[in-house]
Structure 1
Amino acid sequence: MFIQTQKQYTQFESDDLTELLGQMTFKINNFGLWQSQHDTKVQYISNDIEIVYYREGGSITRIGNKEYECPPGSFLILEPYQLNVSINQKYCQYSYYYFHFEIEPLHLRKQFLSMLTKHGHLIYAHEMKDFREMLDRLLIEANEKEIGYSSIITSALIRVVVEIMRAQLKRSHDNHIRIVHSPYTDLVNEAIHYIQEHLYESIRLNTMAQDLGVSKGVLYKAFIEVLSIPPAQYIHQEKIQYVQSRLLLGESLTALAQELGYSSAYHLSKDFKKQVGVSPREYKKHVK
């Protein structure tokens, strides 16, 4: 006797968020627990995406020009190369879990970050399920490192991401998610990798298009359709982000200007402040 299970059980149905996340690959660079028994003030910059869960204690954290009071049980989302100033105070004990990770394909990174921070970088405990027990178990997995542990941690990260995005969508009472179905997505991803490989050069759109086997017009149309910005603007943004990462390693602005094809360090400094919001000197001063 055979049972027609499709008639016995409700079939899973896809949705926009599931479809979007299904296009992504998550790479966790670090997961762990930070602990302290005294007040601290730190200024730091992460070079990847970070999600923080306040297990005990909290902080007042400034991200750009916004300040967040982060209580226990809340989640804070930190973007790559963003200057963060965090003050832990008023509590006897501090501990928080952190995920450091990246995503592929690169053309979805901007949309992914936009959805995580759609209505602010902080999600309060009452807006999400309680993840403390799950995260405590993940720490055991991370410490014991039994076979398959990284898959378990990655699955947990995706669950946290889904809950954060749900909370953001509920804040605006809008469940609409833009899914890009374009024949140009593969081309844009190839172009992004090309830009990363040649970022230190003076990238000419004609040469890049030729190397990718398309016309300059097709390349422009692909970026507008998939990323909503022209390729020249994307290259500019990536160059400034590259400067941010190299400043973290102590490189001089003059050397970076020469490396990236800027006419002068002054020109690079102006572009840097326009995109980042602070001058390279101020940015570098706060790096820890």
Structure 2
Amino acid sequence: MRFRDSASFVLETPIQSEMDIQEILVCFYQTRKPNYQFSGERHLNYELTYVDQGVLYTEVDHQNYELHAKDIMIYYPNQFHAQSTDKDHFCSYLTLSFFLNGTLAQDLKNKVFSASKEMQETLKEFVSSIQKDQYMNKEFSLVLLKKILILLCQCEHKKETPDIDKETKDPYLNKILDYIHSHIETNIRIEDLCEHFSISRSTLQVMFKEQLNEAPKEYISKLKLERAKERLQTKKYTVSEVAYQLGFSSVYYFSRKFKKTYGISPSEYMDSIRK
């Protein structure tokens, strides 16, 4: 048996798990109508919430957060948490309650994460696995949950937006993605990328389509909007400032793209964030 693309290696130090999931206590998927209110609770276990559709507001230790579709948040043991929806939005979300031997890294506490494609696919596999009555499937569900938590830890460690893929199987494309991420605050044009990397426009289009299933322009726009969403959440900048910082041609264009993607204008999004 041969492993392709692998150099010879020897494991010199034993690997010990730092994350031991002891038990999954609760797993359910539900849809809440507008004006739903859950007064809150605290318990001894961890709880993961993943928003599939809609908008969910949550209060954690007297701080308010807003979760949109594909967002994840983890409540830690003994953390008070309440949940609600507003008068305009429903919410469908997945809840996982689990015990760990030991403690989960504090890096994930009191933060909202945007799930990467890999996290989304792993969550789908988890839900499918936990419902099947097959040999070792329940054990496999524990492994999948552990994978989700590890991916969250890795994303926080790298300080990257998990929703945007930055690594592919193509080293050359990875260099292009690194360049885009480091220059996202500028007006990145496709012709500039082609000139900088000495590549034709058609070749660049094919690389993105085959590896990321989207055009370069769509990728750049998506990344800019993710960064914009992060900055608007802080409420440190105006809509105009965010548009200018991320190299949008105009505030009008930025607002139109934002609303088309998230279903809400940037100003409405800022007003809806309860802090």
The Cα shift of 1:66 comes to 3.0
Alpha-carbon distance in structure 2 between the residues aligned to 1:254 and 1:213: 34
For 1:44, what is the secondary structure of its paired residue? strand
Match of 1:100 among 108, 130, 134: 108
Contact 1:68 1:122 in 2 (8 A): no
The Cα shift of 1:58 comes to 7.9
TM superposition outliers: structure 1 runs of 4+ over 6 Å: 56-59, 96-99, 119-127, 156-159, 162-165
The Cα shift of 1:230 comes to 0.4
The Cα shift of 1:266 comes to 2.4
The Cα shift of 1:113 comes to 3.0
Match of 1:274 among 260, 265, 268: 260
Task: Identify the residue that residue 161 of structure 1 maps to in structure 2.
Answer: 147
Alpha-carbon distance in structure 2 between the residues aligned to 1:217 and 1:118: 34
Match of 1:52 among 74, 79, 82: 74
Instruction: State the one-letter code of the partner of 1:267.
Output: Y
Task: Identify the residue that residue 200 of structure 1 maps to in structure 2.
Answer: 185
The Cα shift of 1:191 comes to 1.5
Match of 2:118 among 112, 118, 122: 112
2:218 equivalent to 1:233: yes
Q: How many residues align?
A: 186
Alpha-carbon distance in structure 2 between the residues aligned to 1:204 and 1:275: 21
Task: Identify the residue that residue 50 of structure 2 maps to in structure 1.
Answer: none
Contact 1:53 1:73 in 2 (8 A): no
Task: Please show how residues 116-131 of structure 1 align to structure 2 within 5 Å.
Answer: 116-118=122-124, 128-129=138-139
The Cα shift of 1:157 comes to 9.0
Instruction: State the one-letter code of the partner of 1:211.
Output: H
* CA distance 1:49–1:72, change in 2 (3 Å): closer
- For each residue in 1:3-48, what CA deviation from the matched residue of structure 2 results, as whole angstroms up to 9, or x when unmatched? xxxxxxxx9x9xxxxxxxxxxxxxxxxxxxxx948xx9424258x9
Alpha-carbon distance in structure 2 between the residues aligned to 1:256 and 1:191: 24
The Cα shift of 1:163 comes to 9.8
Contact 2:186 2:247 in 1 (8 A): yes
Alpha-carbon distance in structure 2 between the residues aligned to 1:219 and 1:204: 12
Alpha-carbon distance in structure 1 between the residues aligned to 2:129 and 2:82: 13
Flag structure 2 segments of 5+ consecutive residues without an equivalent.
4-40, 44-56, 110-114, 152-167
- For each residue in 1:37-88, what CA deviation from the matched residue of structure 2 results, as whole angstroms up to 9, or x when unmatched? 8xx9424258x985637767986576x85333737449xxxxxxxxxxxxxx
For 1:118, what is the secondary structure of its paired residue? helix
Match of 1:252 among 204, 214, 238: 238
TM-score, normalised by the number of residues in structure 2? 0.50
Match of 1:188 among 173, 183, 188: 173
Contact 1:73 1:130 in 2 (8 A): no
Select between 236-245 and 120-129 the one with higher mean Cα deviation: 120-129
Contact 2:205 2:216 in 1 (8 A): yes
Q: Percent of aligned pairs with the same residue?
A: 21
Two-structure CA RMSD over aligned residues (Å): 5.0
Contact 2:233 2:270 in 1 (8 A): yes
Instruction: State the one-letter code of the partner of 1:113.
Output: M
Select between 50-59 and 236-245 the one with higher mean Cα deviation: 50-59
- For each residue in 1:110-165, what CA deviation from the matched residue of structure 2 results, as whole angstroms up to 9, or x when unmatched? 4313313437999979985599xxxxxxxxxxxxxxxxxxxxxxxx9986127999
For 1:273, what is the secondary structure of its paired residue? helix
* CA distance 1:189–1:224, change in 2 (3 Å): same
Task: Identify the residue that residue 95 of structure 2 maps to in structure 1.
Answer: 70
Contact 1:253 1:280 in 2 (8 A): yes
